[in-house]
């Protein structure tokens, strides 16, 4: 088989990203948010394209595509963090200096580490590449913190109590609901990082690991896109249509991965397992 399980799901996500890009581009309000949303969708598309090429072209050698995933991941997560900052309404001058100063220093250090890893031809499993994940993880944590802080300011309830926090928002507070939606999206991002850890535990069911990781990509897109159209652009009809499509895609994905595509063929198992190593 040319495409792995992961590539099939990534291709579905790429098609959804393309549709979202077109719809966001056509929107006419909230220009700062729209620009950042478009940049995030574009960088996420580059990241998924690199993943598809890295995990599909077995016979051609995938090192260039493996390497390309890292700068794409950095662009994707930083743009997501910046979009969350705008949504959260955090624009304090002192905070902004610290925020961008930290990112600038981290970006310089990251660029140097990336250059060293590539120039020395480090193996895929090398700790050098693992260190490159600190900046994307830091960006996601920054987004999560900013959204949580903004929700607490609005509701006086710690966001760990998700249902209570949602109930505390005014029913006409679209801005607050947008913050809540992106907070859920950030949690989905963090949840996705547990899949490689679970894969290293021998007692974990492979179907559970695969299913949890693959559908998480679409869960992130569902939260991101529907929240944008429902509470930022307020395009309710489109949001409802996207929600229906995403539910069908999630169900189909879970069944396809866990039941239809999963098999015990040695070559296929090796290629799929390589993603988690």
Do 243 and 222 touch, CB atoms closer than 8 A? yes
What are the C-alpha distances in Å from 254 to residues 5, 59, 185, 205, 210? 11, 28, 19, 14, 9
Do 24 and 62 touch, CB atoms closer than 8 A? no
* Confidence band, pLDDT 50/70/90 cuts, at residue 38: very high
Q: Calculate what percentage of the chain has a pLDDT beyond 70.
A: 73
- What span, in angstroms and rounded, lies between the C-alpha atoms of 214 and 270? 17
**Span between the terminal Cα atoms of the chain, in Å:** 21
Do 114 and 71 touch, CB atoms closer than 8 A? yes
- What span, in angstroms and rounded, lies between the C-alpha atoms of 82 and 68? 22
Q: Could you tell me which of 100, 57, 97 has the C-alpha nearest to residue 78?
A: 100
- What span, in angstroms and rounded, lies between the C-alpha atoms of 62 and 76? 21
**Domains of the chain, each with CATH number or no CATH:** 5-276 (1.20.1070)
- pTM value is 0.81
Is pLDDT above 60 for 263? Answer: no
Q: What is the mean pLDDT of residues 108-114?
A: 90
């Amino acid at each position: 088989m040319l495409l792995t399980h992961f590539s099939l799901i990534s291709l579905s996500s790429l098609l959804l990203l393309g549709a979202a890009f077109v719809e966001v581009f056509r929107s006419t309000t909230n220009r700062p948010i729209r620009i950042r949303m478009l940049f995030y969708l574009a960088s996420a598309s580059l990241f998924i394209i690199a993943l598809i090429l890295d995990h599909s072209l077995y016979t051609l050698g995938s090192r260039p595509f493996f390497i390309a995933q890292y700068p794409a991941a950095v662009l994707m997560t930083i743009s997501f963090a910046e979009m969350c900052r705008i949504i959260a309404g955090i624009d304090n001058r002192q905070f902004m200096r610290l925020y961008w100063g930290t990112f600038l220093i981290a970006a310089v250090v990251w660029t140097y580490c990336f250059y060293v890893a590539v120039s020395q031809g480090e193996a895929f499993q090398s700790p050098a590449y693992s260190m490159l994940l600190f900046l994307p993880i830091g960006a996601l944590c920054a987004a999560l913190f900013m959204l949580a802080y903004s929700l607490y300011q609005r509701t006086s309830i710690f966001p760990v109590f998700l249902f209570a926090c949602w109930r505390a928002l005014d029913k006409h507070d679209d801005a607050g609901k947008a913050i809540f939606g992106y907070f859920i999206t950030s949690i989905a991002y963090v949840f996705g990082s547990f899949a490689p850890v679970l894969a290293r535990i021998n007692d974990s069911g492979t179907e559970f690991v695969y299913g949890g990781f693959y559908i998480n990509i679409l869960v992130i897109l569902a939260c991101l896109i529907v929240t944008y159209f429902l509470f930022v652009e307020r395009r309710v009809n489109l949001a409802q249509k996207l929600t229906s499509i995403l539910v069908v895609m999630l169900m189909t994905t879970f069944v396809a991965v866990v039941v239809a595509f999963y098999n015990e063929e040695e070559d296929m198992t090796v290629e799929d397992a390589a993603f988690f190593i």
